[in-house]
């Protein structure tokens, strides 16, 4: 990539950073209690802008350096604190943030690419299960300090691409005939998403134990 094109792309990034700063400043000065809808619109725009910047910088890195894409994304997974475990027949994935809204196009790229890299890295170092008939429980964890209006309806969130990525590594198929999907909401120290995958026979006992551990978990 020639210097002129690199400078042009850097200019686009700087422009988006300037816009992001304006959005964040507007968020900071807004009366959230009086104008919660305005704050939601501003914070959504700021989040989208930040994710676009991250994707722009990733693409610039891939095009202008010799760093392999998967090597970089593995580092992103570590920064995001994406965690993958398989213990006692249950696959557990911890994602660093809530699933994106369906209208947030850049957001799924921001989350999915590092997830693929983390799953691939884990698979190269650890044996993975291959579930044929299973249950997937997606737990949406919200910061306990957030107001109730910040909690989103499940059907407004992007989950299919996340499940497709996970299914590629540990499921025979994520068809509804073989895979049951459940959602729950929890309150925690920070926003995040937990995904649990297990044989169908394990789910009832697992859920009972989970409800005992977490008073904030929503009922099915």
Q: Where are the domains of the chain?
A: 1-67, 80-220
The Cβ of residue 70 has, within 10 Å, a number of other Cβ atoms equal to 12
**Selected residue with higher pLDDT from 150 and 70:** 70
Closest CA to 93 of 116, 127, 124, 69: 116
Q: Is residue 220 very low, low, confident or very high in pLDDT (cuts 50, 70, 90)?
A: very low
Share of the chain above pLDDT 90, in %: 27
Helix or strand holding residue 177 (H, E): none
The pLDDT of residue 69 is 86
Residue showing tokens 């989970």 = 210
Distance CA 25, CA 143 (A): 22
Q: Dig out the tokens for 92 from the structure.
A: 């557990």
Q: Are 138 and 181 in contact (CB under 8 A)?
A: yes
pTM listed for this prediction: 0.68
**Helix/strand/coil for 78:** helix
Q: Which of 2-11, 115-124, 153-162 has the lowest mean pLDDT?
A: 153-162
Is the CATH code 3.30.1330.70 the one for domain 80-220? yes
The Cβ of residue 22 has, within 10 Å, a number of other Cβ atoms equal to 14
Name the β-bridge partners of 135: 180, 198
Q: Which of 98-102, 138-142, 192-196, 198-202 has the lowest mean pLDDT?
A: 98-102
């Amino acid at each position: 990539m020639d210097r002129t094109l690199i400078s042009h792309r850097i200019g686009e990034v700087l422009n988006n950073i300037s816009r992001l700063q304006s959005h964040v400043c507007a968020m900071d000065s807004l009366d959230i209690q009086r104008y919660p809808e305005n704050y939601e619109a501003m914070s959504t725009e700021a989040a989208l802008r930040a994710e676009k910047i991250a994707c722009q910088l990733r693409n610039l890195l891939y095009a202008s350096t010799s760093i392999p894409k998967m090597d970089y994304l593995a580092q992103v997974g570590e920064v995001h604190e994406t965690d993958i475990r398989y213990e006692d027949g249950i696959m557990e994935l911890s994602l660093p943030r809530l699933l994106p809204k369906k209208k947030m196009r850049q957001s799924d790229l921001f989350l999915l690419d590092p997830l693929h890299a983390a799953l691939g890295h884990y698979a190269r170092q650890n044996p993975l299960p291959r579930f044929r008939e299973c249950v997937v429980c997606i737990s949406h964890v919200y910061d306990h300090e957030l107001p109730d209006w910040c909690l989103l309806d499940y059907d407004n969130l992007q989950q299919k691409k996340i499940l497709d990525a996970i299914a590629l590594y540990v499921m025979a198929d994520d068809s509804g005939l073989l895979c049951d999907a459940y959602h729950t909401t929890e309150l925690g120290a920070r926003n995040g998403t937990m995904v649990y995958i297990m044989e169908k026979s394990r789910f009832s006992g697992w859920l009972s134990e989970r409800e005992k551990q977490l008073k904030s978990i929503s009922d099915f």
